[in-house]
Amino acid sequence: MYKRFFKRLIDIVLSACGIVILSPLLLVLVVAIRLDSPGPVLFRQKRVGLHKSHFNILKFRTMRIDTPRDMPTHLLENPEQWITKVGGFLRKTSLDELPQIFNIFLGQMSVIGPRPALWNQYDLIAERDKYGANDVVPGLTGWAQINGRDELPIDVKARLDGEYVERMSFLFDVKCFFGTVTSVLKRDGVVEGGTGAMEKEQSREARK
């Protein structure tokens, strides 16, 4: 009953309240992005949704408009060079994710679930297939996000996403929610360069 009905009801209520309550903050961030660099305020990117369908995820733009599109951050050469000043702050505080409350309200995402992969992250999508993690609504945050986030290699992230699918319940979602709050405040697992970036850095250090 929770997976089929109450989870979606909670998503609608929370996202609607979030849109209303956070509207002043959203307006301030819109102005800050406008003043910081030329280009649109919002960044739309094709992501993988329920049953591997595609949808456009919404984020506040944190990178220059000439940044290569549809490429994971960790595949960019020196990703820091593409990030704007305001964008760096938004990414560190995860405020760039706030527009996704509209994705949640529309039913394309849930508050809690596996983070939606880029449409061309075929390795991550394939790994998630092993655990049924592509057959649940993706989330704003999830079990993998509070257990390593950007530090996680793809196979570990997919396994944690599968663990979430198995344990999905109201209480487990509450645990993920408050775990996310703690992780954001502590900035745990945030590494510019994305999935597996920490592992790559450790490999480089080991070769020195």
Could you give the CA distance from residue 141 to residue 45 in angstroms, rounded to a whole number?
17
Where is 128: in which H helix or E strand?
helix 122-129
Q: Is the Cβ–Cβ distance between 202 and 80 less than 8 Å?
A: no
Mean per-residue pLDDT over the chain, rounded: 87
Could you give the CA distance from residue 52 to residue 140 in angstroms, rounded to a whole number?
17
Q: Residue 127 has what pLDDT? A: 96
Q: Rounded to a whole number, what is the distance in angstroms from the first to the last CA of the chain?
A: 54
Could you give the CA distance from residue 146 to residue 179 in angstroms, rounded to a whole number?
6
- Residues in contact with 195: Cβ distance below 8 Å, sequence separation at least 6, in sequence order: 72, 74, 124, 150, 152, 153, 154, 157
Q: Residue 63 has what pLDDT? A: 87
Q: Tell me the pLDDT tens digit for each residue of 130-168.
A: 999 999 999 999 999 899 866 789 999 999 999 999 999
Lowest pLDDT segment from 36-40, 72-76, 89-93 = 72-76
Proportion of the chain above pLDDT 90, given as a percent: 69
pTM over 0.85: no
Which of the four pLDDT bands, split at 50, 70 and 90, describes residue 184?
A: confident
The yes-or-no verdict on residue 200 having pLDDT over 90 is no
